[in-house]
Amino acid sequence: MEIKSLLLFVSTLLLLAACSSQHNPAPVISLSTKVATPQNLTVIEGNEYIVQKGDTLFAIAFYSGNDYQYLSKINNIPAPYIITKGQLIRLKADVNNQDINKNIAPEQGERKLSKIQVDHTKQQAYGVNKKEIHRKNQDKKQIASNNTDIKAKAIKDWIWPAIGTHTIATVGDDGSKRGLDIKGRLGTEIKASAKGKVVYAGNALKGYGNLIIIKHNDEYLSAYAHNEAILVREQMYVKQGQKIATMGSSGASDVMLHFEIRKKGKSVDPFRYLPKQ
């Protein structure tokens, strides 16, 4: 009887533990550290950058905290975005060249139109296309609203991007945490840690495999590397918690998610932003 009672007691404890683990999954079961790779430590600062051997426009954008399409536009670099060693890349637009017509004075003797004349000219210009112009203006306002939301609103809360069995903190030589690796199962759901705009989705950055980069505002980017499948496209707005990829091993030796939060291009300690477990 005693043996049966003991076996029943042990079985009950194991059953309770199993039920508890099913209902309370946690992204961190055990934590260890590893030295960050050179890619995790790279940061590009300033308003200009000289291309080095092996650089890509995608990498320069990521390490400087920019959108590669923005850099391609202000530097007149068309797809497939080929750059060469020694090339000067501007990281910020030259404000002196924007809308230079604003600085041109009207010709001498130019007559100023009255309000009635201006209104009449507008009506002639609109004609039968007035509805179409109104629709385009509304579209522009919506895009501007989305961009303002991304730029102006601070990120109040972040969430863990995935659930795994083991989390490794990557650290720099100074001991500061620069990112984390969440090891898990192939196909595990990867979620956006905060809302934002997808500014990169591809595999052009060496050492990151299939990578997604989300811009949250003018300061913060988050990166999701080594994915099996990418489920979002560039220039797409995503919500916090939205499924953006599945966990894989692209560019890595193990199935994992490498996750980084970058502030103005510099990788920062993600544990300062993610909720404690």
> Domain extents for the chain?
31-38+156-272, 43-95
In this structure, are residues 40 and 168 in contact, taking their beta carbons and an 8 Å threshold? no
Q: What is the mean pLDDT of residues 131-158?
A: 54
Q: State the pLDDT at residue 117.
A: 47
Q: Which amino acid is at 228?
A: E
Q: State the pLDDT at residue 101.
A: 35
In this structure, are residues 63 and 42 in contact, taking their beta carbons and an 8 Å threshold? yes
Q: State the pLDDT at residue 177.
A: 72
Q: What is the C-alpha to C-alpha distance for residues 196 and 221, in angstroms, rounded to an integer? A: 9
Q: State the pLDDT at residue 95.
A: 55
Average the pLDDT over each of 32-46, 208-222, 238-252 and give the range with the smallest value: 32-46
Q: State the pLDDT at residue 217.
A: 92
pLDDT at 121 over 50: no
Chain-wide mean pLDDT for the chain? 76
Q: State the pLDDT at residue 2.
A: 57
* Neighbour-count burial for 51-65, b at 16+ CB within 10 Å, e otherwise: beeebbbbbbbbbbb
pLDDT at 201 over 90: yes
Q: What is the mean pLDDT of residues 95-103?
A: 43
pLDDT at 198 over 70: yes
Asked if CATH classification 3.20.20.70 holds for the domain at 43-95, the reply, yes or no, is: no
Q: What is the C-alpha to C-alpha distance for residues 246 and 253, in angstroms, rounded to an integer? A: 16
Q: State the pLDDT at residue 181.
A: 93
pLDDT at 179 over 60: yes
Provide the CATH topology of domain 31-38+156-272.
Answer: Glucose Permease (Domain IIA) (2.70.70)
pLDDT digits (tens, 9 = 90+) for 50-81: 999 888 999 999 898 898 999 999 999 998 89
Q: What is the mean pLDDT of residues 71-97?
A: 88
User: What are the DSSP E strand ranges found in 108-264?
Assistant: 166-171, 177-183, 189-191, 196-202, 211-215, 220-225, 227-230, 237-238, 243-247, 256-263
pLDDT band at 154 (very low <50, low <70, confident <90, very high): low
Half-sphere exposure of 234 (CA within 13 A, CB side): 11
Q: How many CB atoms lie within 10 A of CB 271?
A: 16
- Residue 231 CB contacts under 8 Å (≥ 6 apart), including other chains: 243, 244, 245, 246
H/E element, 3: helix 2-23
pLDDT digits (tens, 9 = 90+) for 239-261: 999 999 999 999 998 999 999 99
**Two tokens, residue 187:** 């196909």
Q: State the pLDDT at residue 206.
A: 86
Q: What percent of the chain has pLDDT over 90?
A: 43
Q: State the pLDDT at residue 155.
A: 67
Q: State the pLDDT at residue 77.
A: 95
**Two tokens, residue 153:** 């609103």
Q: What is the C-alpha to C-alpha distance for residues 59 and 66, in angstroms, rounded to an integer? A: 10
More confident residue, 102 or 46: 46
Give the CA radius of gyration of the chain: 26
Q: What is the mean pLDDT of residues 80-90?
A: 93
pLDDT band at 23 (very low <50, low <70, confident <90, very high): very low
Q: What is the C-alpha to C-alpha distance for residues 67 and 195, in angstroms, rounded to an integer? A: 16
